[in-house]
């Protein structure tokens, strides 16, 4: 079954819808991304969009998927801009790149990492957005694993880990990562990720404004601490 002309047109329309939705999101905020607004912008009427998406929610999920992919691409660019051997540098670049992207795309970030939208259950299976999110997750995870392979930073032994955590870590390792690793590595990964994403979220959502105008130094401090935990050779940001 070759790709027919119709199929190409359809794919192009889907892309145009995504792009339009994206532009509205950036320009006018998430609440302005309505079916009618998208259709209006494209010279169509709202019901026509139902030929391409089952509902408003599904369109949004698709948009989320697109944005995840874009973020992943941006991070990979940041990472591969660092010379091949410098794994510490790559890790720092990814962390800073994540924050930079988040600050430059606050509304998109809110869609990806904010409170889960009602009606957009984050629990959907076999979802496009879900898949893109997983791919994104691998970006940091592979970096982390590579770091572990090369530097063997100190991690807690299995019997030093909270028993309530051991089972969960094992499941995550065996079912998702599927690489033979000490559980302590995974615990460290999660700890780092919580700090990184947690810190970025707070800053992006303005929850540090009560004290700071520019939380950049606090973020850098955090990166430094994470680096220390992982035995990274720290280098200050380029800019």
Contact positions toward DNA, by CB under 7 A?
A: 4-6, 9-10, 13, 34-37, 39, 43-48, 50-52, 55-57
Q: Using CB under 8 A as the criterion, what x/- string covers residues 2-31 for binding a copy of itself?
A: ---------------------------xxx
- Rounded to 10 deg, the angle between the 216-229 and 183-204 helix axes is 180
Run of H or E residues at 68 = helix 56-80
| Phi/psi at 210 (5° precision) | -60, -20
16: CB partners within 8 A, 6+ apart = 42
Distance, CA of 17 to CA of 61 (rounded, Å) = 13
Distance, CA of 39 to CA of 186 (rounded, Å) = 45
Indicate which of a copy of itself, DNA, none lies near residue 218 (CB less than 5 to 8 Å, by partner kind): a copy of itself
Closest distance of CB 38 from DNA, Å: 8
Closest distance of CB 114 from DNA, Å: 18
Which residues of the shown chain bind a copy of itself in the complex (CB under 8 A)? 29-31, 110, 113-116, 118-119, 122-123, 133-134, 137, 162, 164-165, 168, 172, 176, 186-187, 190-191, 194-195, 197-199, 201-202, 204-214, 216-218, 220-222
């Amino acid at each position: 079954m070759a790709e027919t002309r119709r199929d190409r047109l359809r794919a192009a329309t889907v892309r145009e819808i995504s792009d339009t939705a994206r532009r509205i999101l950036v320009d006018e905020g998430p609440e302005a991304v309505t079916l009618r607004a998208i259709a209006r912008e494209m010279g169509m009427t709202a019901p026509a969009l139902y030929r391409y998406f089952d509902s408003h929610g599904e369109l949004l999920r698709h948009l989320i998927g697109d944005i995840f992919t874009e973020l992943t691409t941006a991070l990979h660019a940041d990472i591969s801009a660092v010379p091949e051997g410098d794994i510490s540098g790559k890790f720092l670049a990814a962390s800073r790149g994540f924050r930079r992207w988040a600050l430059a795309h606050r509304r998109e970030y809110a869609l990806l990492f904010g409170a889960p939208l009602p009606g957009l259950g984050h629990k959907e299976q076999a979802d496009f957005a879900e898949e893109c999110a997983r791919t994104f997750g691998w970006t940091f995870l592979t970096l982390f694993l590579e770091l572990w392979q090369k530097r063997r930073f100190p991690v807690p032994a299995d019997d030093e880990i909270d028993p309530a955590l051991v089972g969960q870590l094992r499941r995550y390792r065996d079912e998702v990562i599927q690489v033979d690793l000490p559980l302590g590595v995974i615990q460290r990964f999660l700890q780092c990720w919580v700090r990184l994403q947690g810190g970025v979220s707070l800053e992006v959502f303005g929850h540090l404004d009560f004290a700071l105008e520019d939380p950049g130094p606090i973020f850098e401090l955090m990166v430094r601490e994470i680096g220390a935990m992982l035995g990274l050779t720290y280098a200050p940001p380029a800019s």
